[in-house]
Amino acid sequence: MDITESTKKLIRKVQELKAKYSDLASVTFIDFYSQYHQGCDYLFPPQVKNSVRLLDILLLFCQCVELKTPSLLTKLMWKDVIGPTLGEYQEDEQIEETLTQTLANQELQNAVNQWDREPRIDGGVNLILRNLLHDIEEIETEHFQQ
């Protein structure tokens, strides 16, 4: 099943956030988010796909981090056959393999445990997770209004 142009456009915009959020938890979540939306195109009928919220994706991501492996739903969603070309399919499979390896890594769990805030030199904190979710929400709002 091909990924819709709308999903590809959303993913491209969200992937651009990696330039702003380079920590392990954020980069991994951005890739997970992207794969999740591709999986929605593959697995879900339109009404179900349209009901998916950012919080749903975050909860499933946290579940996978706790399990240290993709959840059953995630595995089902990753059975998609993306793209009309072998290259796109292989790229998709590589991203999923990298995510699987990263989920198994204790370093990711440690990063997620510290994801809510990052100390600043001035004594304040950066709210990494909150800011990332805000930026994704803004992209989604703009995307789905088109």
Question: What gap in Å lies between CA 144 and CA 6, rounded to an integer?
Answer: 9
pLDDT tens digits, 32-74: 999 999 999 888 998 999 999 999 999 999 999 999 999 999 9
Which of 144, 133, 139 lies closest to 29, judged by CA? 133
* Alpha carbon 138 to chain centroid, angstroms: 15
pLDDT tens digits, 78-114: 886 655 677 777 888 899 999 999 999 999 999 999 9
Cα separation values, 146 from 6, 19, 23, 106, Å: 10, 24, 30, 40
Q: Tell me the domain boundaries of the chain.
A: 5-145
